[in-house]
Structure 1
Amino acid sequence: MSVEVRVADEATDVKATVLGMWAALSRRDWDELKTYLSQDCIYLDMPVGPTAAARGPEDIVKRLKIGLEPLASYENFTGLLVADGADVMYEHHEEWHWATGESAVLQFVTVHRVEDGKITRWKDYWDMGALANHAPPTWLADFAAADMSWIFDATGLV
């Protein structure tokens, strides 16, 4: 019985870490968000691929800010969360609203790996076309002009 309790506690801890990070992101609390990420955490948007990943809390936040900081409002909505040991799959959606009036609802499946209470891997699967079709006309140009010092090639690591 003690093994079952320990496994249940570990699954609860892994889920709490993931949900805590997403709650911080939904508030755009960048400092709190960093506390959930390991120093070598790799983040990548799967539509872009591993050559444009970010690594480590500072660079991951730089990457996230490019898309989220300019928004008038942003919110993550909780969905199905499934944990298998250190691996977590999270089905959720985000709502993005720009000051210019455009808005988008983005459906995500995110895969996390949590080790020693920190997220070590974060892969977002989503439809980039859904964003491009609803974002302001300047969105892609603004993204291309942003600070890209965060880019990390994670080929072979994810």
Structure 2
Amino acid sequence: MSAEHIVEGMWAALSVRDWEQLKTYLSWDCIYLDMPVGPAAAARGPDDIVKRLKIGLEPLSSYQNFPGLMVSNGSDVMYEHHEEWHWATGESAVLQFVTVHRVIDGEITLWKDYWDMGALVNHAPPTWLEDFAKADMTSVFDATGLV
């Protein structure tokens, strides 16, 4: 299976928030990080990555990923796409992403999201940052020096 196909499958699982299916695309030591936050607040491994993703995505009333340009050199995949986030309180945000994945032996080993944190903060409910600050951060892994 090509790296592009693996990345497409992972994003399809994430778009419907199928957490168990999403895990099947990630290596046991995959590193995930939001680049606006940096490598000191990464997550490592399928379980912790899903735990981290759920902090932002699980409270949403709807979430969808919209595919865009995908470019690959065989193992490294760059994916330009956007996500729509909707909260039950009526707020919504359209977030533009460029995501970099590394795929080795049929599994994603690195996942880096580049996006504008301000676009989220400006459109999220007023309690979003406070809720995020109270979230369970036991999945946080310091990937400084590894990415």
Q: TM-score higher than 0.5 here?
A: yes
> Aligned-pair distance for 1:84?
0.6
> Aligned-pair distance for 1:88?
0.3
Q: Which of 47, 66, 78 is matched with 2:36 structurally?
A: 47
Q: Which residue of 1 aligns with 2:105?
A: 116
The list of structure 1 runs, each at least 4 consecutive aligned residues, that deviate by more than 2 angstroms after superposition, is none
1:77 is aligned with what amino acid? Answer: F
1:123 is aligned with what amino acid? Answer: K
Aligned residues: 147
SS in 2 for 1:135: coil
Greater C-alpha Rg: 1
Structure 2: how far apart are the matches of 1:141 and 1:24? 28
1:32-70 alpha-carbon deviations (Å, 9 max, x no partner): 000000000000000000000000000000000000000
SS in 2 for 1:149: coil
> Aligned-pair distance for 1:94?
0.1
Identity of aligned residues (%): 80
CA RMSD across the alignment: 0.6
- Unaligned segments of structure 2, at least 5 residues: none
Matches within 5 A, 1:1-158: 13-158=2-147
In the superposition, the TM-score normalised over structure 2's length comes to: 0.99
In the superposition, the TM-score normalised over structure 1's length comes to: 0.92
1:105 is aligned with what amino acid? Answer: V
